[in-house]
Amino acid sequence: MFESVIDNLIRYGNIIEGFFWIVIGGCFIASLLKPAHRRSKIIAAINFTVFGCSDFVEFYTGAWWQPTWLLLWKGLCVAVMVLQFVFYLRAKSASSA
């Protein structure tokens, strides 16, 4: 019985996590009020929202690595996040130099 409670907590945690990432995407949309870096903000907003949607799919599949296309979906989103962070760091160091 305890295992089923943990399993349900993990599964429903994906729903909460999905909304969390979508809220992050919404924050990037809200940040568009400031015109700086619009393209990066739009890409981040879309990426975080799409990543959040992948958690809803994970709720139904039960695993982030199955099916393979879900793993690729999540991997692509994480790769975009990492690339955006690298670009951010480069831009920040260039502006301070």
- Is the per-residue pLDDT at 59 higher than 70? yes
> Percent of the chain at pLDDT above 90?
78
Report residue 11's pLDDT band, with 50, 70 and 90 as the boundaries: confident
pTM (two decimals): 0.89
Mean pLDDT along residues 61-85: 96
**Structural domain of residue 22, as residue ranges?**
2-96
pLDDT 10s digits, 82-92: 999 999 999 99
DSSP string, 11-48: HHHHHHHHHHHHHHHHHHHHGGGS-TTHHHHHHHHHHH
pLDDT at 97: 74
Number of domains in the chain: 1
Mean pLDDT along residues 52-73: 95
Mean pLDDT along residues 17-44: 96
pLDDT at 2: 67
37, 40, 42, 44 alpha-carbon torsion, rounded to 10°: -140
Q: Is 14 exposed, middle or buried (0-12, 13-18, 19+ CB in 10 A)?
A: buried
pLDDT at 66: 93
